[in-house]
Homo-oligomer: A and B are copies of this chain.
Amino acid sequence: MKGISHTLISYLAAAVFLLAIWWGLALLLELPIVPTPDKVFVRLTDVFARDILEHAAYSLWRIAAGLGLAVCIGYPLGVIMGYFRQADRFLSPVVYLTYPIPKIALLPILMLLAGVGELSKILMIFLIIVFQVVVAVRDAIRTLPEERYYPLYSLGASLGQIFRFVILPASLPKFITAIRVAMATAVSVLFFTETFGTQYGMGYYIMDAWLRVNYLEMYAGILVLSVMGLLLFGIIDCFEHVACLWQRK
């Protein structure tokens, strides 16, 4: 299809563009902190099959679980806050007060309660991104004009039907935006969530490489993380394409 090859070309162009910037910067600075991409790629091919695939798989699982949890809890909460003014009046301050708490500072408590295993990592990702989902979904629904509900109200629709036919589709675009932002956040906080109690995961890999002042491996890890993010973004874009058919221009 023409569309797909178009997309590939533009992704390639973007990759080349970023590589060029990186290369330029590396040549300009001539410091081991900023190695040239070619060296990083060589290292990447060295370590890829051996290490990075496994790390990436762990990270993907944690992101998926954290994001899934955040959606499962955050979406209903956002819907309730967006639709019921009364609920919002009391829940908003709760969210406003808890959102800015640096979740990493709660790590000791989390570890005490949930151990050092997978659970605490997933919970940490969840804690960091659930607020983004809640706020975005709430705002999406709150800005829906009252009139959107009229056809359903006048048909005597139940709450479930109002959700199914109005709230869900109307908030979908904003929800997808929220997922995009939350997903990328989840990828970039791997860095803190995968540093304890594990030897696997891209976050661990990068942090370890950094600690060892092994900038080549660190950049190889960042590169993989970046491609991983791209793939996840691609999945979300495809989902949007299918789910928001009515918005296609």
Q: Write the residues of chain A forming the contact surface with B, with a CB cutoff of 8 angstroms.
A: 6-7, 10-11, 13-15, 17-18, 29, 31, 33-34, 89-94, 96-105, 108-109, 112, 128, 131-132, 135-136, 139-140, 143, 145-146, 173-174, 176-177, 180-181, 184-185, 187-192, 203, 206, 210, 215, 218, 222, 225-230, 232-234, 244, 247, 249
Question: Is B14 a contact of A99 with CB atoms below 8 Å?
Answer: no
Q: How far is the CA of A189 from the CA of B188 in the complex (A)?
A: 12
Which residue of B10, B103, B173, B249 is within 8 Å of A93 (Cβ)?
A: B10
CB distance from A223 to the nearest CB of B (A): 9
Cα separation A7 to B226 with both chains bound (whole Å)? 43
Query: What's the Cα separation between A34 and B109 when bound, in Å?
Result: 7
Give the residues in chain B near A185, CB-CB below 8 Å: 132, 185
Q: How far is the CB of A242 from chain B (nearest CB, A)?
A: 15
Shortest 7 CB-CB distances between A and B: which pairs? A100-B229, A14-B93, A100-B187, A102-B191, A139-B177, A96-B233, A99-B184
B181 touches A181 (CB 8 A): yes
Q: B132, A206: Cβ atoms under 8 Å?
A: no
Task: List the B side residues contacting A15 at CB < 8 Å.
Answer: 93, 97
Chain B residues with CB below 8 A from A100, complex form:
184, 187-188, 225-226, 228-230, 232
Q: Are A90 and B135 in contact (CB under 8 A)?
A: no
Q: With A18-B98, A101-B222 known to touch, is A135 a contact of B177 (CB < 8 Å)?
A: yes
Chain B minimum-CB-distance residue to A218: B105
Chain B residues positioned under 8 Å from A7 (CB to CB)? 89
With contacts A14-B91, A31-B112 known, what are 12 further pairs, Cβ within 8 A?
A13-B93, A14-B90, A14-B96, A15-B97, A33-B108, A97-B226, A97-B229, A99-B233, A104-B191, A105-B210, A145-B249, A185-B185
Bound complex: CA A131 to CA B29 (Å):
26
CB of B94 within 8 A of CB of A17, answer yes
Closest Cβ neighbor of A206 among chain B residues: B105
Q: B33 to A96, Cβ gap below 8 A?
A: no
